[in-house]
Amino acid sequence: MKQPVEAWETDFDHTHPDYAARAPEIWDELRATCPVAHSDRFGGVWLPTRHADVAQIAHDTEHFSSEGVIVTDWKPENLAPMGYAPPITSDPPFHAIARRLLLPAFSPREIARWEPSARESARQLLDEMLAKVGDGGDVVDAATEYAQHIPVRVIADMLGVPREDGDIFRGIIHRILETPGEGVGIEGIPDEDRLDTYLTAAIEDHQAHPKDDLIGYLLEARLEGEPLTVDHIFGTIALILIAGIDTTWSAIGASLWHLAQTPADRRRLVDDPDVLPFAVEEFLRFYAPVTMARIVADEVEVGGTTLGRRDWVLLPFPAANRDPAAFEHADAFVIDRAKNRHLAFGVGIHRCIGSNLARMELNVAVDEWMKRVPDFELADTDPAAVTWSAGQVRGPRTLPVRILKTNATSDGGH
């Protein structure tokens, strides 16, 4: 059990179930009363909630190191500039080298290649989900029967491994996230459940039968004329699995949670499909799933408060996204918001490498859902029936919804 939080200004805990349940309210309260809050938990951690302060920290790689990006009792030390999962844990100048290696594989043109298979997978999931229910009045779990599987299947396609292996990596990711800092190879895990065993076989298969996918790309890539080491390839794939799956699942789930409660926005998406790209950005602003962290490299002032060397600082991009100083009607979800400089994918040199991919997946997931299921609602009007994950990735982990209307095929809508 977590220690109860005495006051969010002085004793906050982002891993507490109360934070999971009502984080947006907590950010709004703190922004008004104590914009750079502190807690002694985790060896000392700060929580800025203003857009300007979050952006300042993300842009200042001199005073803030990415050596640690997940706040835990264990604090990485002497790992800079590369860190344990480059480029996300890397600082300049090494960061740019590790990042540029990946960027071409995630460019908009490359990502567009994966859209048809993402669409096919969303349709197949909807078929399977709806096959189990009759028309009208039936309940499905949109988080575990739909949202959760889309990013797993897309990443399997991109890596060039069978989609059915999705469950294997979901298990691996959860184990890694639940024992942070221990890395990929953990003692006592049966061989067939380990990421290194799995990837070794996948890499051998790619070496024997070269393929035009992400593993094929990493095998061909050269750093200063040399092929990547096996450790580098494993580390990169592990980062993509960890950074790309729960994040996107959370974004899709939160978007469907919103639509389940907002008939006007459902109707707008059905009547005016051109609004979808704007809706996607507003989902990302309002329900941004990812909070990052930094370690203070050198004493520095943020928003009038002095942060000490080696303190943790959380970077709650979702809190920045709800700051009224940066957004008009920040507390309202505006489906066609025209001015939306949200920070869901971060800001500065660590801007999410998967942002084009995540946007494509969110677009496809909402579009295909709305074409097949234009009308639905929360199965239980009690907000506590939906559990949100605690910690630095926030999204609904279960999402029971009642299907009110379906179209026979995904082309039936419009």
Partner 1 sequence: MKIVLDLSKCQGHGRCYSLAPELFESDAEGNSVLLVDGDVPADLVDAAVLAADNCPEFAIEIER
Contacting positions for ligand HEM (CB under 6 A): 58, 66, 69, 87-88, 99, 239-240, 243-244, 247-248, 251, 288-290, 292, 317, 344-346, 350, 352-354, 357-358
In whole angstroms, the minimum distance from the beta carbon of 375 to ligand HEM comes to 25
| Tokens standing for residue 5 | 């939080």
From partner 1, ligand HEM, none, interface partner of 122 (C-beta below 5 to 8 A by class): none
Among 46, 146, 287, 345, the residue binding partner 1 under the rule CB under 8 A is 345
How many residues sit close enough to partner 1 to count as binding (CB under 8 A)?
Answer: 22
Q: Closer CB to ligand HEM, residue 69 or residue 125? A: 69
- Give phi and psi for 242, each to the nearest 5: -75, -40
In whole angstroms, the minimum distance from the beta carbon of 385 to partner 1 comes to 34
Instruction: Check residue 211 and give left, alpha or beta (phi > 0: left; psi -120 to 50: alpha).
Output: beta
From ligand HEM, partner 1, none, interface partner of 407 (C-beta below 5 to 8 A by class): none
Is residue 92 at the binding interface for partner 1, with CB under 8 A as the rule?
no
In whole angstroms, the minimum distance from the beta carbon of 351 to ligand HEM comes to 7
Q: Closer CB to partner 1, residue 62 or residue 205? A: 62
Is residue 100 at the binding interface for partner 1, with CB under 8 A as the rule?
yes
Judge whether 109 and 115 are in contact, CB under 8 Å.
no
Among 67, 281, 323, 368, the residue binding partner 1 under the rule CB under 8 A is 281
From partner 1, ligand HEM, none, interface partner of 255 (C-beta below 5 to 8 A by class): none
- What crossing angle do the helices spanning 355-372 and 263-271 adopt, rounded to 10°? 90
In whole angstroms, the minimum distance from the beta carbon of 326 to partner 1 comes to 10
In whole angstroms, the minimum distance from the beta carbon of 275 to ligand HEM comes to 19
From ligand HEM, partner 1, none, interface partner of 340 (C-beta below 5 to 8 A by class): partner 1
Residue with token string 């709806």: 130
Q: How far apart are CA 81 and CA 239, in angstroms?
A: 17
Considering only 27-35, 122-130, 304-312, 343-351, which stretch makes contact with partner 1 by CB under 8 A?
343-351
Judge whether 370 and 266 are in contact, CB under 8 Å.
yes
Of 236, 228, 163, the C-alpha closest to 199 is 236
Of 249, 60, 65, the C-alpha closest to 147 is 249
Among 117, 261, 340, 410, the residue binding partner 1 under the rule CB under 8 A is 340
Is residue 113 at the binding interface for partner 1, with CB under 8 A as the rule?
no
317 half-sphere exposure, CB direction, 13 A CA radius? 26
In whole angstroms, the minimum distance from the beta carbon of 147 to ligand HEM comes to 11
Considering only 106-114, 168-176, 223-231, 389-397, which stretch makes contact with partner 1 by CB under 8 A?
106-114
Residue with token string 């491994």: 161
Q: How far apart are CA 376 and CA 406, in angstroms?
A: 9
Considering only 68-76, 102-110, 130-138, 175-183, which stretch makes contact with partner 1 by CB under 8 A?
102-110
In whole angstroms, the minimum distance from the beta carbon of 351 to partner 1 comes to 4
Nearest residue to the partner ligand HEM, using Cβ: 354
What would the x/- binding string for partner 1 be over residues 346 to 365, using CB under 8 A?
A: -xxx-x---xx---------
Of 72, 47, 70, the C-alpha closest to 57 is 47
Q: Closer CB to partner 1, residue 330 or residue 378? A: 330
Where do contacts with partner 1 occur on this chain (CB under 8 A)?
100, 103-104, 106-109, 277, 281, 338-343, 345, 347-349, 351, 355-356
